[in-house]
Amino acid sequence: MARFLKKKEATLGLPPGSAVFVGEQKVAAISIKSMLYTQDKFEETIIDPSALPLYVEIAEQKTQVQWFDVVGLHDSEMIKNIGTAFNLHSLTVEDILHTGQRPKMVEFDHYLYFVLKMMYFDQKSQIIRSEQLSVVLGDSFVLTFQEQPSDVFDPVRERIRKSRGRIRKNCTDYLTYTLLDSVVDNYISSIEHLGEQIEDLEDEVITNPNQNVLGKINLYKREINYLRKTVRPAREFILQLSKLESDLICESSTPFLKDLLDLSTQSAETIETYRDILSDYLEVYSTGINNRLNEIMKVLTIFSAIFIPLTFITGIYGTNFEHLPELRYRYSYFIFWGVLISVALFMLRFFRRRNWL
């Protein structure tokens, strides 16, 4: 399936808000995990989807923070039921099920909705892998939707379990910040891994420009463009979030959101830097190939120039006139070769003195 644009044949002709899955099924069955916590207590549960309304009622008590992590999006009916349980807008459910969404933030009456990509660098294939992440920020709950199990949020889970830092002392907006921060940190990690491959390519581009090097340059340009397509709009909605005036965002979380904006800006700027580097590599590669071609043409031109007078001489003595004075002379053949060699040596010396060789 295409990475830059997901096909939407399944949704053609349907009204807005239709709950139709667009993407690739990555898990066998949808799972829901719950992490409920306050400063003093913590509970972690795997939820049966049929019992989800009960947990929603608990979450609505607003005395604690509850994080629901949904893994798997292929079951449209179940995602629609989850949306109904949390009173999500039909357009939000549609965006959750469409895995080709552009990173964005949408503000609703009782929740904020974010959609972005989680990324990691695949060392084996040398390409960027991604999956869509949807986040719903409510007053007392955070709802995340992932395409497949991921270890991006494992550090956040450990901080909640062991009550590290301030995460269990704050509300849902801080948990959302922490999740977004983990995603952006992974952007930086992916860019760093890809950047190492790009920087290691420099010597090859200069010393041995060939088709293999050109293939690597084009591969990395495609991956950088894919990162750019994701990180730039993610930075835009983080900027929007850092300036948002909403009851769901506490004033104490604003400095953290601004720090997150700095990280996303750093990611976007680094991507642009590597994009420029790859463009420079392409120019160096083209220059190297042209120089090599020029050297080849120079040698061929010199040989052609040397053989032009030799061809002229042999052309004269290759004619069929009967009365050529030198033809009957005993040493004509050797004199002829001497003339040819002398002309060739004279021209080589002439080219060398002109620094053409």
Q: Domains in the chain and their CATH numbers?
A: 9-288 (3.30.460.20), 298-353 (1.20.58.340)
Average pLDDT of the chain to the nearest whole number? 86
For 312-353, how does the pLDDT look when each residue is reduced to its tens digit (9 = 90+)? 878 777 776 566 676 677 777 787 788 888 888 888 888 778
CA distance 250 to 230: 27
Q: What is the pLDDT of residue 320?
A: 65
pLDDT for residue 183: 93
Decide: 218 and 282 in contact? Cβ < 8 Å.
no
Range of weakest confidence among 8-17, 118-127, 308-317: 8-17
Give residue for tokens 């002829």. Answer: 336
Give the mean model confidence (pLDDT) for residues 228-252: 90
Q: Comparing 95-99, 127-131, 136-140, 222-226, which segment has the lowest mean pLDDT?
A: 127-131
Q: Give the span between the Cα atoms of 270 and 185, in whole angstroms.
A: 13
| pLDDT above 90 (res 175) | yes
pLDDT one-digit tens code per residue, 83-97:
988 999 999 999 999
Per-residue pLDDT at 123: 79
pLDDT in tens, 178-205: 999 999 999 999 999 999 999 999 888 8
Q: Given the structure tokens 């709009």, which residue do they identify?
A: 233
pLDDT of residue 218: 92
Sign (positive/negative) of CA torsion 209, 214, 217, 220? negative
* Res. 307: pLDDT tops 90: no
Does 1 have pLDDT greater than 60? no
Q: Quick one: pLDDT at residue 140?
A: 87
Cα angle vertex 320, ends 317, 321, to 5°?
90
- pLDDT bracket for residue 306 (50, 70, 90): confident
Torsion region of 72: left, alpha or beta (phi above 0 gives left; psi -120 to 50 gives alpha): left
DSSP 8-class letter at 238: H
Asked if 271 and 234 touch (Cβ cutoff 8 Å), the reply is no
Among 92-96, 120-124, 224-228, 260-264, which is the least confidently predicted range? 120-124
Please tell me the predicted confidence (pLDDT) of residue 258.
92
pLDDT at 208 over 80: yes
Structure confidence at residue 12 (pLDDT): 64
pLDDT value at position 60?
66
d(CA 94, CA 262): 31
pLDDT given for residue 339 in this prediction = 82
Give the DSSP letter string of 143-164: EEEESS--STTHHHHHHHHTT-
Torsion sign across C-alpha atoms 248, 253, 254, 258: negative
pLDDT tens-place string over residues 12-61: 667 777 888 888 888 888 999 999 988 888 889 898 877 777 777 666 66
Length of the chain in residues, anyone?
357
Residue 296's pLDDT is 78
Whether residue 26 contacts residue 72, with contact meaning beta carbons closer than 8 Å, is answered with yes
Mean pLDDT of 58-71: 80
What whole-number distance in Å separates Cα of residue 134 and Cα of residue 102?
A: 11
- State what percent of residues in the chain have pLDDT above 90: 38
Please count the CA atoms within 13 angstroms of the CA of 212 that sit on its side-chain side.
4
